[in-house]
């Protein structure tokens, strides 16, 4: 349960952090170039994309871990009667 | 059971956020800067002493066949070495001391925060962000020292069509910049949220117990909940220390082995 909770907060944060960083970068770009509000809007959108990229990477990482655990668990299946399992 | 006694007890129950207050224990002022020894820094020094004692007395009489204490120290070390080997490979061996110190400090800080009357060092974003910012800067410097200018190719995934470059590069940069934020906020949020939850349920126990009659019986429910939460918090404390160290190795891997 603790592990699932940790995984959940991790995935939620990946998305939020991307948006925050993107919006912050856009904000500073605006105050530097005086292009308000377009820098922040663009930064927000880019940050959202970056957040989703991070999210997808984190999920793929987790999925790769699970499949490794499944591979490690495979020899145990061979000892059992396969008919009764499926 | 009058109303005034209830009010008085409510004010005696510590608020759920009071546990995070930083109190100066010994005032130190250097050139106008407040460098007071606070309860936070006192706990950090205590944690360092504990870690030092754990390592020193565990390995003082190192034997070929380890005793209980020595095998605890060796087990922790083997765990970190395994994590570094798995995520970075043979080039990561020189980072084992760093990852090990980071892991054991955060682990002890998280678990020490569950002791009654204790202060959770890692429940402050200033502490966790200091760690994360240090790791972030370290990753950049190691990347530049090891790979030179080629390290900036990290921001361009292989096989990107030229017309997507103006879009992909900012996305990769934002994705990279969000690393210290996710790293620090995850640890801070997990520790803070768990401790607030524990305090709130503990507050329920006290106020229901004071209410008297049937309410005192109902007060057993939050007590049971708090016990279960305590077990969960212990898992969270250990898992978050592990996740922090694991992600540090993953980030260092990107700087050491430039894969794309």
- Where exactly are the structural domains of chain A? 10-74
Candidate from A70-79, B138-147, B215-224 with smallest mean pLDDT: A70-79
pLDDT for the residue A45 = 93
Closest Cα to residue B152, out of B163, B165, B161?
A: B165
The two tokens of residue B66 are 């380890």
Q: Determine, for residues A9 and B186 on separate chains, whether the beta-carbon distance falls below 8 Å.
A: yes
Closest Cα to residue B230, out of B79, B102, B113, B78?
A: B113
Q: How many CB atoms lie within 10 A of CB A31?
A: 12
Q: Which residues of chain A make contact with B238, given a CB cutoff of 8 A?
A: 2
pLDDT for the residue B63 = 78
Residue with tokens 């002791």: B115
How many residues does this entry show for chain A?
86
Interface contact B156, partner A, CB < 8 A: no
Q: How many Cβ pairs closer than 8 A exist between chain A and B? A: 66
Interface contact B170, partner A, CB < 8 A: yes
Q: Determine, for residues B232 and A2 on separate chains, whether the beta-carbon distance falls below 8 Å.
A: yes
Question: What is the CA angle B232-B72-B194, rounded to 5?
Answer: 15
Cβ–Cβ under 8 Å, residues B174 and A19: no
Preceding amide of A37 cis, omega within 30: yes
Pairing outcome for strands B37-38 and B33-34: unpaired
Confidence band for B58, pLDDT divided at 50, 70 and 90: confident
Distance CA A67, CA A14 (A): 22
Distance CA B20, CA B120 (A): 7
- Neighbouring-strand partners of residue B29: B34
Tell me which of B129, B157, B173, B174 to substitute to probe the interface with A (most A C-beta atoms closer than 10 Å). B174
Q: Determine, for residues B239 and A22 on separate chains, whether the beta-carbon distance falls below 8 Å.
A: no
| Confidence check: pLDDT of B150 > 60 | yes
Q: List alpha helices for B117-219, DSSP H.
A: 125-147, 165-177, 179-211, 214-218
Instruction: Give B 103-132 residues with CB within 8 A of chain A.
Output: none
Q: Answer with the residue of higher pLDDT: A43 or A64.
A: A43
| Interface predicted TM-score (ipTM) of this complex, two decimals | 0.73
Q: Determine, for residues B239 and A54 on separate chains, whether the beta-carbon distance falls below 8 Å.
A: no
Q: From the centroid of its chain, how far is CA B41?
A: 15
Q: Determine, for residues B236 and A22 on separate chains, whether the beta-carbon distance falls below 8 Å.
A: no
Nearest to B232 among A1, A43, A51 (CB): A1
The H-or-E segment that residue B34 falls in is: strand B33-34
The two tokens of residue A37 are 């509000």
Q: Which residues of chain B make contact with A3, given a CB cutoff of 8 A?
A: 235, 239
Q: How many CB atoms lie within 10 A of CB A71?
A: 9
Q: What is the pLDDT of residues A7-42, one digit of tens each?
A: 787 888 889 999 999 999 999 999 998 887 898 999
């Amino acid at each position: 349960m603790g592990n699932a909770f940790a995984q959940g907060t991790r995935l939620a944060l990946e998305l939020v952090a991307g948006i925050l960083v993107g919006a912050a970068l856009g904000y500073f770009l605006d105050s530097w170039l005086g292009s308000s509000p377009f820098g922040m809007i663009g930064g927000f959108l880019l940050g959202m994309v970056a957040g989703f990229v991070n999210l997808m990477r984190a999920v793929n990482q987790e999925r790769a871990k699970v499949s490794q655990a499944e591979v490690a668990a495979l020899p145990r299946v061979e000892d059992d009667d396969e008919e009764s399992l499926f | 059971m009058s109303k005034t006694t209830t009010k008085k007890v409510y004010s005696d129950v510590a608020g759920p956020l009071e546990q995070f207050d930083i109190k100066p224990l010994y005032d130190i002022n250097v050139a106008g800067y407040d460098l007071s020894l606070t309860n936070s820094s006192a706990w950090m020094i205590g944690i360092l002493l504990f870690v030092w004692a754990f390592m020193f007395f565990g390995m003082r009489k190192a034997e070929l066949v380890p005793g209980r204490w020595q095998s605890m120290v060796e087990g922790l070390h083997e765990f970190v070495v395994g994590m570094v080997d798995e995520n970075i490979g043979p080039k990561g061996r020189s980072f084992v001391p760093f990852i090990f110190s980071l892991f054991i400090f955060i682990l002890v800080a998280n678990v020490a925060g569950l002791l009654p009357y204790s202060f959770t060092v890692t429940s402050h974003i200033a502490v966790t962000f200091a760690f994360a910012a240090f790791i972030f800067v370290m990753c950049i410097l190691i990347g530049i020292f090891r790979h030179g200018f080629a390290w900036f190719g990290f921001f361009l995934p292989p096989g990107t069509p030229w017309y997507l470059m103006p879009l992909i590069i900012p996305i990769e940069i934002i994705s990279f910049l969000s690393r210290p934020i996710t790293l620090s906020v995850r640890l801070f949020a997990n520790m803070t949220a768990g401790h607030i939850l524990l305090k709130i349920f503990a507050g329920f126990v006290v106020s229901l117990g004071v209410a008297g009659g049937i309410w005192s019986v109902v007060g057993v429910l939050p007590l049971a909940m708090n016990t279960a939460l305590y077990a969960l918090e212990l898992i969270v404390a250990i898992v978050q220390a592990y996740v922090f160290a694991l992600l540090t190795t993953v980030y260092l891997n990107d700087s050491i082995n430039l894969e794309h």
